Structure 1
Amino acid sequence: MEPKARTEAPVRYAFHFPDDRLWVHEVDVVAPHPPEDAPDWARLEFQQCSHCPLKAAEVRDCPFARALARPVAMLANSPSYEEVLVTVSCRDREIRQKTTLQRAVGSLLGLLGATSGCPHTRMLRAMAWFHWPFSTSAETLYRSLGTYLLGQHLRQGRGLEPDWAMDGLRELYRNLRLVNLGMAGRLRAAAEEDSSLNGLILLDLLAADTLYSLDSYEGELDRFFAEYFEEE
């Protein structure tokens, strides 16, 4: 059976700055359109991630870096601690939050990474379909586990071998941490201030926290599943 055509509207991030500036960035989850005129720091060979499977002879730009080009250009001169009002529109709902630019950018970068086409972030695309901005570490863990396990259930239904031990999810987050390190190196060369870089660091902290929880789960989510532990 052919999948139904996707008709979701782009995810829209609107940054309202204290000086009345408004900056809007839309991410098309179905078919992202990153800029073609990417800056030099987005070239694949420029501080290429150590585990990147792409080859500069075949691919000019790093997909993740190219997706970040416009946000970095706009936000590079704004300090990470600046408070902004961010309105995120997605899936027929609108979420507003007053927060630091650092956290707001981190939320946007997570979505851009998942939809960028980077080989190491492509498994996050399923989460991008149901993007939830400003996720806490517990929410990120919940969504990561739930998405991955649902994916394994669907794999099994297609006759493929499922990964119930979640070894693939651990590997995904280990690779994601290396990607974040590589992107941080690129952004240091691009950002005059630290907003984009700090947003990426915040994203990496969430990735590290999720990986730690996967490797040494200590019941962080147990209280939400009390009914599942009852004897039938």
Structure 2
Amino acid sequence: MDLDAADDSVIHYQFRFADGRTWSHQVVLRPDNSQAQVEQAPAWTKLEFHQCKHCPLRPEESPHCPFAQALVAPVELLAQSPSYERVEVEVHWRGREIRQRTSLQRALGSLLGALGATSGCPHTRILKAMAWFHQPFSGTDETLYRVFGTYLLGQYLRQQRGLGADWSMNQLREVYRKLRQVNLGMTERLRAAAVEDSGPNGMILLDLLAADTLYSLDQYDGELDRFFAAYFE
């Protein structure tokens, strides 16, 4: 795949299945949510269809759930594949190529994380900065490092602009509590739409990472201390 290394606004995912099927999807960091896309969206993307209880959007202003709209293509193309199916995934991003052979659930969880952050959902907007430096298939430690680092850098940049800074990360706790509600709400939405389990299970995987992050915020047990030994000298 010949990609422009300078184009950092598109993340390319390509899935290869054991039976020879291939499927590609792009995460566009500057999305074009046109009216035509809205009109063609399936019924399960309507805002009021299992709408998250804490959603601030209103149907008259946003007829469709932005996060659900971002999932239309993955759900349609992967609905017939069980979450445990093994796939080979290539991610092309910033001139790099990352390959991973893993379960569809984990691969889809990585893709859904980037899609959610760029979807326009009010509760995932703060994750957009992380999406610009997307790390496919990241584990708990990597996710925690990126979340903390991104948030604290954001606070530094706020302070540079004369805005208040949340160095205690109290607001981040609230962000992740709301994010967990979004993940659980989207899981219920996908289940109610009767899609194959790869969709809901991908959302459950995201929620596990969100739960780990929230736990570390509420009760940090030194998970990252070993990486910062030089800072404690």
Which residue is equivalent to 1:16? 16
* 1:87–1:94 CA contact under 8 A, matched in 2: yes
Q: 1:29 corresponds to which letter in structure 2?
A: L
Q: 2:18 corresponds to which letter in structure 1?
A: P
Once residues 128 and 102 of structure 2 are traced to their aligned partners in structure 1, the CA distance between those partners, rounded to angstroms, is: 25
The 5 A counterparts of 1:81-96 are 81-96=84-99
Which runs of no fewer than 5 residues in structure 1 stay unpaired? 1-5
How many equivalent pairs are there?
Answer: 225
Once residues 49 and 60 of structure 2 are traced to their aligned partners in structure 1, the CA distance between those partners, rounded to angstroms, is: 13
Which residue is equivalent to 1:186? 189
1:166-205 per-residue CA deviation (whole Å, 9 max, x = no partner) reads 0111111000000011101111023442111101100100
Which residue is equivalent to 2:148? 145
Percent identity over the alignment is: 65
Q: 1:211 corresponds to which letter in structure 2?
A: L
User: Is the deviation greater in 205-214 or in 33-42?
Assistant: 33-42
Q: 1:179 corresponds to which letter in structure 2?
A: V
Which runs of no fewer than 5 residues in structure 2 stay unpaired? 1-5
Which residue is equivalent to 2:27? 27
Q: What's the secondary structure of 2:71's corresponding residue?
A: helix
Q: What's the secondary structure of 1:52's corresponding residue?
A: coil
2:165 to 162, 165, 176: 162
Q: 1:178/1:164 Cα in 2 relative to 1: closer, same or farther (>3 Å)?
A: same
Q: What's the secondary structure of 2:55's corresponding residue?
A: coil
1:16-74 per-residue CA deviation (whole Å, 9 max, x = no partner) reads 00011010000111235473311101000011100000001211100000000110111
* 1:15–1:84 CA contact under 8 A, matched in 2: yes
Once residues 107 and 167 of structure 1 are traced to their aligned partners in structure 2, the CA distance between those partners, rounded to angstroms, is: 26
1:78 to 73, 78, 81: 81
Q: What's the secondary structure of 2:134's corresponding residue?
A: coil
1:192-232 per-residue CA deviation (whole Å, 9 max, x = no partner) reads 421111011001000001100110000000000000000xx
Once residues 191 and 7 of structure 1 are traced to their aligned partners in structure 2, the CA distance between those partners, rounded to angstroms, is: 37
The 5 A counterparts of 1:191-210 are 191-210=194-213
Q: 1:99 corresponds to which letter in structure 2?
A: T
Once residues 202 and 186 of structure 2 are traced to their aligned partners in structure 1, the CA distance between those partners, rounded to angstroms, is: 11
2:57 to 54, 57, 71: 54
Q: 1:9/1:124 Cα in 2 relative to 1: closer, same or farther (>3 Å)?
A: closer
CA RMSD of aligned residues (A): 1.3
1:103-159 per-residue CA deviation (whole Å, 9 max, x = no partner) reads 000000000000000000000000000000001011110000000000000000000
